[in-house]
Amino acid sequence: MNDVVKLAGVSKAFGKHMVLNGLSWTVERGKVIGLVGRNGAGKSTLLLCALGIYETDAGSIQMLGDRVPELSDATRARIGYVPQSSDLFGWLTADQLLDYFRAFYPRWNDVKVRALLNRWGVPRDRVISKLSGGEKQRLSIIRALAHEPELLLLDEPVSGLDPAGRRDFLSELMSDVVDRETTILFSTHILSDLERVAADVAFLKDGAIRLHGQLDELIETCRRITGDKHSIDALGIQALSREENVNGTVSIVARLDDRHLRSVETRNGALRVDRIAFEELFEEVTR
């Protein structure tokens, strides 16, 4: 079974505000996926629903073959999670906290834990409530990696880290993927980090995944096409975004396969075709 996370028709609303709207999506084993979206798009809600921490209003979710929320203990031991805001026990030291959680997991990599504590400079004997935000974040990540999960979900894991901390963290993640084929799904709004790890990217918009693909491939295949309305419509392309310009022309951003790319190129006189950067793609898809 290659699908590690499988969501089918998942909906979640808070009052009248629909956050996830019939979302269907699969995450394959060994992928590193950056989940991006505007503030309030529902990234955290999606992760929390996937983990069974939030109940869904409709749809079904499977994680590592188990139905959510009825995960077996064995499956839970294969999942790691870093929440957006630290939920560490403020009254313990880092050593005590890690010792506490070690008792619940059948597998625990002490060597890795010690190495990360040292390398990331997390004080081991200071009470957690007195650690800085970045130190708590690092400790949260160490805790989530310590039992060597097959599936790691991280909610804005680098938001509290400085650039050096982010680089270390991403390098650790990637070595985990290479060494153990860990599947990693993390929400972020720092697009440069995604470019650095060459991850897959999933864009969340209007309660659904609007676009998902390998970052380099998306950059390679997505174009902004500008022309008169008739020419644009004649392409028959499903646009990711569409905008009418002040001069009466229309611009669309679309993901083009080879056939469409050739078709656009043959009409190059009537259409202007531009490559777009990742940040522009983010703005267009999530607008």
Q: Using CB under 8 A, list all residues that contact other proteins.
A: 51-53, 69, 71, 73-74, 76-77, 79, 81, 83, 87, 89-92, 96, 99-106, 127, 129
* The residue type at 143: R
Shortest Cβ distance from residue 72 to other proteins (Å)? Answer: 9
Whether the CB-CB separation of 35 and 187 falls below 8 Å is answered with yes
Lookup: tokens for 6: 């499988």
- Beta carbon nearer to other proteins, 140 or 286: 140
The partner residues of 224 in beta bridges, in order of sequence, read 253, 274
Neighbours of 123 (CB within 10 A): 16
- Beta carbon nearer to other proteins, 51 or 145: 51
Shortest Cβ distance from residue 67 to other proteins (Å)? Answer: 14
Per DSSP, the chain holds a count of helices (H) and strands (E) of 11, 14
**H helices present in 52-123, as ranges:** 73-76, 94-102, 110-119
- Beta carbon nearer to other proteins, 87 or 233: 87
Lookup: tokens for 231: 């020419």
Q: Which of 174, 137, 147 is nearest to 31 (CA)?
A: 174
Shortest Cβ distance from residue 4 to other proteins (Å)? Answer: 15
Distant-in-sequence, close-in-space partners of 193: CB < 8 Å, separation ≥ 6 = 34, 158, 166, 170
- Beta carbon nearer to other proteins, 105 or 276: 105
Shortest Cβ distance from residue 141 to other proteins (Å)? Answer: 14
- Beta carbon nearer to other proteins, 35 or 285: 35
Shortest Cβ distance from residue 71 to other proteins (Å)? Answer: 8
